[in-house]
Amino acid sequence: MIQKKSCEGIGYSVVELNQARHVFAAAVPRQTGSLEDEARDALQTVQAVMKEEGTRGSIVHQAVFFRKLDQLEDIRRIIKGFYGAELPATSYIPQPPCSGKLLAIEALGVGKETGGVSIRRVTDQVVVTSHDGITWVHCANVVPEIESQAVYDRTLDAFHRMRRQLADQGVPFENIVRTWLYLGDIVGPEGETQRYKELNRARTDFFRDMRFLTPFTPPGLNGSVYPASTGIGTDGRNVIMGCIGIKVEKDGVTILPLENPRQTSAFDYGCEYGLKSPKFARAMAIAGPDSATIFVSGTASITNSETQHVGDPGKQTAETLDNIEALISGDNLARHGVPGLGATLHDLALVRVYVKNQEDYAVVREVCEKRLGELPAIYAIGDVCRPDLLVEIEGMAFASPATVLS
């Protein structure tokens, strides 16, 4: 189902799903230069891939990882000038690329030129795609607008803004399948507690009384349902959010949260990890009769609820990949009520690897490349939500019957 390719400066995957082509690309500039030169190099490389794969003009969601906070407005100007009327929903994430470049770009294109796909560009924060009876709302770069600098207040404000953006497109907040929560100084102090703990308190309060995805979950599903999510640190002090919401208008689609048999569910963490536990699923699967799209949440070197391999970035990376492998396996999907579908690490189409310390990049990348093979990947410096965690990995996988039988 997945074809993976790479050349200088870019790796990309092509997934043919429900008669539409999806292209996942991760690009870094090929040469070091000015911000304008590096940005255009990466953007032109992505554009060339999309043209080659017959998906020109199809980029709907984009994340730009950048090194210097004071260059944000220049990057936005370059991005807007390059895309013009075809601007994707774009998040600007202040995480330095591990490559040493000024920026790196991750992009998702959905087969516009292959037919059957509708793309509606609302703003540079919202793009809506529709195909095969499913509508996807991509929201990016949602930031709070209130004066308060308290993490709790700013998190709630950003969630309210994101809910309004979804509602404007006819999708309730309860229909989100994936969120990204970026927090500056994530493990830093906030009063008598920690900034990430305050983000989790706000998320819990905002999610209170919500019932996520109830029209689409399997009958008889017991337990909590929350979106897949990544909560990761950035430079600066801001809260930045993104999400994907979904509207299904056809039969035969099941949406279900996946928990990991090797890990305690995050929402069941004890009070030692915060007054309010993190409310997210380890992954979210959108399953049809013959395939499943799996959004893998930010995953780290944790078994049960304890950090493993403290101080060893290589072993933490391997443990993290073991967790992802177990999470997306056919056995785990069957355990959750979807027998006959499954994925391996080779069925990942794209990953982001957040590395706490630049000096660990080489060993982390070596482990990832050995286990994952040729795969589009973004490596960025991002603080993880526990001081003893050195690596966090997220991604997208595509499960199929063939994987189960192989």
Spatial CA neighbour of 341 closest among 391, 288, 386: 288
Whole-angstrom Cα distance, residue 46 to residue 23?
Answer: 10
Amino acid at 231: G
Q: Give a yes or no: residue 352 inside a domain.
A: no
Distances (CA, A) of 251 to 88, 256, 341, 398: 29, 15, 18, 20
> Is residue 151 domain-resident?
no
Q: Where in the sequence numbering do the catalytic residues fall?
A: 392
pLDDT of residue 179: 98
Q: Is residue 358 part of a domain?
A: no
Q: Is residue 161 part of a domain?
A: no
Please give the full DSSP string across 64-123, using - where no structure is assigned: EEES-GGGHHHHHHHHHHHHGGGPPEEEEE---BTTSSSEEEEEEEE-GGGSS-EEEE-S
* 129 in Cβ contact with 70 (< 8 Å): no
- Answer whether residue 1 is part of any domain: yes
Is 404 part of a structural domain of the chain? no
Lowest pLDDT segment from 14-23, 74-83, 90-99, 257-266:
14-23
> What CATH number does the domain containing 48 carry?
3.30.1330.40
Q: Look at residue 230 and tell me whether its pLDDT is greater than 80.
A: yes
Both structure tokens of 286:
């959108």
* Helices (H) then strands (E): counts for the chain: 8, 22
In-domain check, residue 272: no
- How do residues 134-177 score in pLDDT, each as one tens digit? 999 999 999 999 999 999 999 999 999 999 999 999 999 999 99
Could you tell me the pTM of the whole model? 0.96
Assigned domain for 156 exists: no
For 38, the domain range is 1-115
Q: What percent of the chain has pLDDT over 90?
A: 85
Mean pLDDT score, 306-323: 98
Contact 228, 293 (CB under 8 A): no
pLDDT at 49: 95
Contact 350, 399 (CB under 8 A): no
Backbone angles phi, psi at 150, to 5 degrees: -70, 135
Kindly state the greatest CA–CA separation across the chain.
57
How many structural domains does the chain have? 1
